[in-house]
Amino acid sequence: MIYILLLILFCLNLSSAKADQSQSDAVGETGSITLTRIYTKALELSKLGQKSAAILQFKKAIAVNPDFVDFYIGLLNASIDQKNWSDVSYAVQNIFRLDPAYKPDYTIDYGEALYHLGKYDEAEANLKTALTYIDKNITSEKLHKEAQSKKDKEQEVITKKLETTTPPPSSSSPSQANPSSPQANSSVTNLDKSAPVNSENQAQETPKDIYHPAKRPDQDAKKIVEQYRQSYEAALKSESILLAQYEGYDKTDDIRYNHPPKAYYHIKKVLKGPPLNASLPIRYDFHLPKDTQAPPNWKFSSDIMPKPGSLWIIFIENALTKHGMYETFEGSYGRQEANDENLNKIYDLIDKSSGQ
């Protein structure tokens, strides 16, 4: 009978230990069983393409613990898919708050969100910064590795210092002879407090790929910047925006793809900026600044030029002449046909900007 009772108690203890182990495993990276369940559900919904439902779960997790960076990264990726730019902006700001090393990965998303939210100055600044990260090949992974390397070096210095300052064991020292003595325990405790966490613990703090979906490809990021630069919202930053009539151009024998002619316009109305001389000489660029390679078999012809008497919206980034000509915003983009659609859009943007 006693043996049966002992066997029952053993089984109960074993079951309890397994339950404790299972509960520990369920805690995961979040430190909470409940949060891990919510977060796992959010990731599963996002993977299944149910982004709206995933967003609700990420926000639910954030409400419980607003200081866990992975929740915001999940929210960011789901919100980008839904083009929910307010949530994208909110998520990125908190990612940067919790771990600034992620700026190289997510500044592009922040700039795009600001652009769609109508914060054009902030958008341009962040998009330019994002391009800098891309050009210099800076990533969050590199920054995290650099930080880890710095910690490892600091730890190595501290360890060597402790080794040189700690006296060697002596049989006459009670604390060294008897590790269980109070003095020995005190020494070990102090040593533990002064030394930084070991590299194994530090590695656990490093974000894992499973919790951090891949950032946008560099080419995708560059495309976003280009789309912004080739928009009326970006062109609105030009010093002068004019409604002008095309009159003609200087006909020379040396007009090339990267050596455009001087074109003449007559200002009909100043939409933005200082008053300029009604006669407006323009450098008539044939391409955007980045497209310096001429298309195959490109050859200048008068047919390329506008129809005399046609009306155009002219964006001049800096209202100063260079070689006797004004340069238009982003080259050829700075000349837009003055049709009803384009005029309505630019008037609307000017009105909104003047009201800010």
Domain assignment present for residue 170? The answer is no
Residue 191 lies in a domain: no
In a domain, 175, yes or no: no
Residues of the chain with pLDDT > 90, as a percent, come to 45
Is the CB of residue 95 less than 8 Å from the CB of residue 107? no
Q: What is residue 220's predicted lDDT score, i.e. its pLDDT?
A: 72
The residue segments making up the domain with residue 347 are 235-289+303-354
CATH number at residue 124: 1.25.40.10
DSSP element (H, E) containing 269: strand 262-272
Task: For residue 39, tell me if it sits in a domain.
Answer: yes
Q: Mean pLDDT of all residues in the chain?
A: 80
Q: What percent of the chain has pLDDT over 70?
A: 75
* Residue 278 DSSP symbol: S
Domain boundary residue, one of 194, 210, 229: 229
Contacts of 101 (CB under 8 A, 6+ apart): 140, 143, 144, 147
Q: Do 119 and 264 sit in the same domain of this protein?
A: no
Are residues 32 and 153 located together in one domain of the fold? yes
Q: Tell me what the mean pLDDT of segment 112-136 comes to.
A: 85
- Whether 220 and 251 map to the same domain: the answer is no
pLDDT of residue 62: 94
Q: Specify the 3-state DSSP secondary structure of 273.
A: coil
- 93 and 125 assigned to the same domain: yes
Model confidence band, residue 119 (pLDDT cutoffs 50, 70, 90): confident
pLDDT tens-place string over residues 267-322: 999 999 998 999 999 999 999 988 899 999 999 999 999 999 999 999 998 989 99
Domain count, the chain: 2
Judge if 33 and 126 occupy the same domain: yes
In terms of domains, do 264 and 206 share one?
no
User: Is residue 268 domain-shared with residue 159, that is, in the same domain?
Assistant: no
pLDDT in tens, 308-355: 999 999 999 898 999 999 999 999 999 999 999 999 999 998 887 775
Same domain membership, residue 322 and residue 244: yes
Residues 284 and 206 in one domain: no
Residue 62 and residue 208 in one domain: yes
Write the pLDDT tens digit of every residue in 202-247. 434 434 444 455 566 666 777 777 778 888 888 988 999 999 999 9
Residue 14 forms part of a structural domain:
no
Structure tokens at 139: 């990533």
pLDDT of residue 209: 44
- Note the pLDDT of residue 72: 94
Question: What's the burial of 265, exposed, middle or buried (CB within 10 Å: 0-12/13-18/19+)?
Answer: buried
Closest by CA position to 317, among listed 306, 305, 330:
330
User: Which DSSP string corresponds to 168-191?
Assistant: PP-TT-HHHH-TTSHHHHHHHHHH
Q: Identify residue 319 by its one-letter amino acid code.
A: A
Give the list of residues 6+ apart from residue 170 with CB closer than 8 angstroms, or none: 176
Question: Within 13 Å of residue 29, how many CA atoms lie on the same side as its CB?
Answer: 19
Same domain, 344 and 309: yes
Distance of CA 143 to the CA centre of its chain: 14
| Alpha helices (H) along 83-181 | 85-98, 103-116, 120-135, 140-165, 174-177
pLDDT of residue 56: 95
95, with CB counted inside 10 A (0-12, 13-18, 19+), is buried
Residues 137, 143: Cα–Cα separation, whole Å = 11
Rounded Cα gap, residues 184 and 167, in angstroms: 13
213 and 262 inside one domain: no
Please, which pLDDT band fits residue 150 given cuts at 50, 70 and 90?
confident
Asked if the structure places residue 192 within a domain, the reply is no
What are the tokens at 113?
A: 């969100």
**Could you tell me the CATH number of the domain that includes residue 337?**
2.40.50.120
pTM here is 0.57
Half-sphere exposure of 78 (CA within 13 A, CB side): 28
